[in-house]
Amino acid sequence: MHPQPIPSPTELIRNLELAIAAEQNRPERLPGLVAVFNRLPDVSVVNLENLSALKPEISLAEISVGRFSDLAEAPDGTVYGILRAERWNGYVYFLADAQAALAFIEAATGFDGDVRSGIAPRGLTMLERSIVSLLYMRLSRSLAEAFSAFVDVTFEVTAIGDRDLLITGLPASAPTMVARLKVAFAGTEGFIRIVIPQKLLEPVRMELEVTPAPPAEDLPVDGDPDWARQLTDEIARAFILTNAILDERQITLNELANLRVGSTISLATTSISRARLEIDERPLFWCEVGKNHQQMALRIETEFESADDEVEEF
């Protein structure tokens, strides 16, 4: 029996950080993330229903935590997908079991549900994997839309294959968040797992710790209520530019003309602990400036009340 190598102090600290992050990022501590996955099935149905005559039935089966090594324990026939999350500088993983993959392939290639499918788990051809890549592209779009209520991120499918894709992935002990979707076409169903390494959630944990506001009661509207709800939902998820103003001062045209690379502009404020948050050039809040997970962050303190408040501050 060979002795196990002793981890270095750096490795021990890193393993401790991973363990702490895994505990902090449990689903019950991130209500925003739970809201994302609860919303994902409805968004996915919209993005998938025009690919087949059959309307998909999608529901969230469970949200759990696990380790990266769990991905390698998926059943034979599982189709792995790797998605690049550009703004998070990392990867998200899709795992469709054979039943889910073949159900989608049949639906996308003309199966109408009139005759009971004789589907059986098996390996996929290159063409069939290409069809599954279309499923993953639509799911990646749905995942980005579901996240858009909290953070702005996009996902790009970079590879489709089997578990060999994981060779260059994360350490086996790396904690992950796993959402399992139940997907069915005409009664033929399977499961797709969405695996997000927890290190990707660290920079956006503060946003995902927010408990989403309860939906407003539907008011009677003229016309198509489904269209009205969809339009309202899309407007609510639209992104707008926000500016955090630390200080302002006037300068003369002569000062402006003399500005060069390396010039210094002195500000009246002696602290950057407070900033004015503006949206569409309209001041809305006073915020405290700080850091969150090595990133600059703002915490809203009070509402911006009047122009007198601005004069008093600056």
Query: What's the pLDDT tens digit per position in 129-143?
Result: 888 999 999 999 999
Q: Measure the CA–CA gap between 79 and 3, rounded to whole angstroms.
A: 37
pLDDT one-digit tens code per residue, 75-114? 888 999 999 998 888 999 999 998 899 889 888 887 665 5
Specify the pLDDT at position 299: 80
Specify the pLDDT at position 294: 65
173, 18 in Cβ contact below 8 A? Answer: yes
What mean pLDDT comes out for the span 163-177? 82
Specify the pLDDT at position 114: 54
Q: What is the number of other CB atoms lying within 10 angstroms of the CB of residue 209?
A: 15
Amino acid 174 reads A
Specify the pLDDT at position 196: 93
Domains and CATH numbers, the chain: 9-225 (3.40.1550.10), 240-256+268-313 (2.30.330.10)
Strand duo 90-96 + 242-245: pairing? unpaired
Reported confidence tier of residue 27, pLDDT bands at 50, 70, 90 = low
Amino acid 51 reads L
Element spanning 81, H or E: strand 79-85
Specify the pLDDT at position 187: 80
Residue 42 has pLDDT above 50, yes or no: yes
Per-residue b or e along 75-97, where b marks 16 or more CB atoms closer than 10 Å to that residue's CB: eebbbbbbbbbeebeebbbbbbb
Q: Measure the CA–CA gap between 244 and 109, rounded to whole angstroms.
A: 51
Residue 60 has pLDDT above 60, yes or no: yes
Q: What is the number of other CB atoms lying within 10 angstroms of the CB of residue 3?
A: 5
312 vs 294, which has greater pLDDT?
Answer: 294
pLDDT one-digit tens code per residue, 191-250? 999 999 988 888 888 888 877 666 555 445 566 666 766 676 666 666 677 788 877 778
To the nearest 10 degrees (0 to 180), the angle between helices 126-147 and 31-48 is 130
Residues β-bridged to residue 176: 66, 197
pTM: 0.62
Average pLDDT score over the chain = 79
User: Of the ranges 3-7, 172-176, 180-184, 283-287, which one carries the lowest mean pLDDT score?
Assistant: 3-7
Specify the pLDDT at position 301: 82
Sheet holding 295-303, edge to edge: 242-245, 274-279, 282-292, 295-303
Reported confidence tier of residue 146, pLDDT bands at 50, 70, 90 = very high
DSSP 8-class letter at 114: S
Specify the pLDDT at position 80: 93
Specify the pLDDT at position 262: 83
User: Of the ranges 189-193, 283-287, 292-296, which one carries the lowest mean pLDDT score?
Assistant: 292-296
